[in-house]
Structure 1
Amino acid sequence: MKHLSVGIGCKLNTSADHIEAAVRGALGAHAFDEIACIATLDIKAREPGLIEFCTRHAVSLQVFSRAEIEAVSDLPTPSDAARRHLGIEGVCEPCALLATPGGRLIVRKTAWQGVTVAIATSLDAPASESESTSRDTL
């Protein structure tokens, strides 16, 4: 069942393989076939590695504006880098939540080689053993 929304933030020109490794690490016990969509900031909509990753796994890419992201409050793991470079509190966590209206984060922001990943699901989806704690895999 596809019930996971994966929020991703990445540096310019990040490869699909790097994105895949970061997502694989964040998924834990979840499988790629549980991913309903990838979500990110609108300025990343044409990022080649992100597009290739979505194509490779046959998942849609949802993009959100800074204004939409700013409307998400109380992020568990605000990002100094996102605040400094983009003027917003984060990318992966708010995008994952925006792609899952009424949902909740089951994996808080993780970071791996310039890629940040957070995972959200609908409130009625089954919980995972890996739920809730931030995993720093740097």
Structure 2
Amino acid sequence: MTARGRDAATPFTEDSGVVGAGDDVRCGEPVAVHGGRVAVGVGARSDLLEAELDWAIRAALTAAGLSPGDVGVVATLDRRAGATLRAVADRHEWAVRSYRADQLAVVPVPHPSARVAAAAGTPSVAEAAALLAAGPGARLILPKSVWSGLTVAVADRAVTTALPRTASAQPGGEAGQPG
């Protein structure tokens, strides 16, 4: 069970609730991210310390005029989503998303890197992971920035408002009349 009383093995669907810290969500599953409005993407080395990661994310958020409470999800390359990232995410109650290199490689980013592509199999980790985790229509509000050897990017989730369905929008209906 997670801290929110939901069995972490329960698959998510569009209406199954929120993703909480410690929840294991696989790419492609529709989810509703609880908490903040932004996604943080992280490109990190394997010998990363929790304090380094926490500091780098906080520094990036401060640079963007944000706080840890604005974050809903932190994302990275699948082979970097280990205990260090999960510990930091759990402390802040952020969801964790991880992506394969081929999933990140198809995301258009403003700052691709040939060096990262050679090492990780994708020209972007931080920016691509942030954009994917934030969802369709997301935009970068902090492009990749290097903090103590870690790369962090922040993307804002697209916010859409659905208008209530009116009688005039229904087939055969007129304004004020049921369809």
Structure 2 residue aligned with 1:37, among 69, 73, 80?
Answer: 73
Could you say which residue in structure 2 is the equivalent of 1:11? 45
Equivalent pairs: percent with the same residue? 30
Structure 2 counterparts to residues 8-87 of structure 1, below 5 A: 8-28=42-62, 29-46=65-82, 48-73=83-108, 75-87=109-121
- What secondary structure is seen at the aligned counterpart in 2 of 1:33? helix
Q: CA deviation at 1:108?
A: 0.2
Cα root mean square deviation, aligned: 1.5
Highest RCO, 1 vs 2 (Cα 8 Å, sep ≥ 6): 1
Aligned residue pair count: 123
Partner Cα separation in structure 2 for residue 24 and residue 88 of structure 1: 25
1:28-79 deviation per Cα after TM superposition (whole angstroms, max 9, x unaligned):
2211011000011111122x32121111111111011112111112x11112
Structure 1 unaligned blocks of 5 or more: 126-138
TM-score between both structures, scaled by the size of structure 1: 0.82
